[in-house]
Amino acid sequence: MTAHRVEMRDATREFRDGGGIRGVTLTVSAGEIVALVGLNGAGKTTLMRVLLGMLIPSEGSVEFDGVRLHRIPAAQWAAVGHLVDHPLIYRELTARQNLELSARLYWAPATAVARSLTEFDLSRYAQKRARALSMGNRQRVGLASALQHDPSLIVLDEPTNSLDPAGVILLRDALRRRADAGAAVLVSSHHLDEVARVAHRIVVLNDGRLVGGLDPDAAELERAFFEMVRLDDERRRP
């Protein structure tokens, strides 16, 4: 796996109503799992969409291995795996057909589909149409699609949404394996305890700005998070 790093500098993308992100600087390096946490509306999804080029920053820049995002050759996108918003799934196709399609899109080897069905414990649903799957199993298919080509940059927005505890563990192992092999991973979550089990670093986003980091091994993580957010809110209050 070729090691990649993604770097966001002073990125700003505000919306008319005042939401968005402001002046965010963040680097995710090869081999590390960074968790992005923040309250509802803090800007996590917006940050990820800017990082992936789905939204153009109004200020600042995003670089992939030192190259500005819009200059990256199409082939390099095959090294990216992402799931932001909803899993990209065709409801009329079976789980296996969905995986075969995304394997072709991302130039994954022919063996990838069988491997990812096993990795996300989906083999028994392989022939089932996506529309007939439970939400959690659809999420598993979405995650398998995003990861089966072994991307070296992984961006997942609240990936444990609708997963059962077994799915959470499968995902955690899948991310660890890939980071150990050199992937750079950015994952957002509301569940601090859960991300603390997998992340090397936790960064806190509040009202569109990065306001600090948390040590995943620290005790009382939730308390530290709320304190950081409270202090930031207080600091900005007129």
Ligand X SMILES: Nc1ncnc2c1ncn2[C@@H]1O[C@H](COP(=O)(O)OP(=O)(O)OP(=O)(O)O)[C@@H](O)[C@H]1O
Residues that bind ligand X in the complex, under the rule CB under 6 A: 15, 17, 19-20, 38, 40-46
Q: Which amino acid is at 176?
A: R
Please give the Cα distance from 173 to 191 (Å, whole number): 17
Q: Are 48 and 13 in contact (CB under 8 A)?
A: no
Based on CB atoms, which residue is closest to ligand X, 150 or 194? 194
Q: Are 155 and 51 in contact (CB under 8 A)?
A: yes
Based on CB atoms, which residue is closest to ligand X, 21 or 171? 21
Based on CB atoms, which residue is closest to ligand X, 150 or 157? 157
Q: At what angle are helices 95-105 and 112-119 packed, to 10 degrees?
A: 130
Please give the Cα distance from 210 to 36 (Å, whole number): 9
* Least distance between ligand X and beta carbon 188 (Å): 7
Based on CB atoms, which residue is closest to ligand X, 4 or 82? 82
* Least distance between ligand X and beta carbon 35 (Å): 13
Q: Are 3 and 40 in contact (CB under 8 A)?
A: no
The closest alpha carbon to 135, from 157, 158, 163, 156, belongs to 163
* Least distance between ligand X and beta carbon 49 (Å): 8
* Least distance between ligand X and beta carbon 12 (Å): 12
Q: At what angle are helices 135-147 and 112-119 packed, to 10 degrees?
A: 140
Q: Name the residue number minimizing CB distance to ligand X.
A: 19
Please give the Cα distance from 39 to 223 (Å, whole number): 14
* Least distance between ligand X and beta carbon 205 (Å): 7
Q: At what angle are helices 95-105 and 135-147 packed, to 10 degrees?
A: 20
* Residue 205, SS3 per DSSP: strand
Based on CB atoms, which residue is closest to ligand X, 103 or 192? 192
Rounded alpha-carbon distances, angstroms, from residue 121 to 19, 114, 125, 190: 38, 10, 9, 24
Based on CB atoms, which residue is closest to ligand X, 117 or 202? 202
Based on CB atoms, which residue is closest to ligand X, 46 or 102? 46
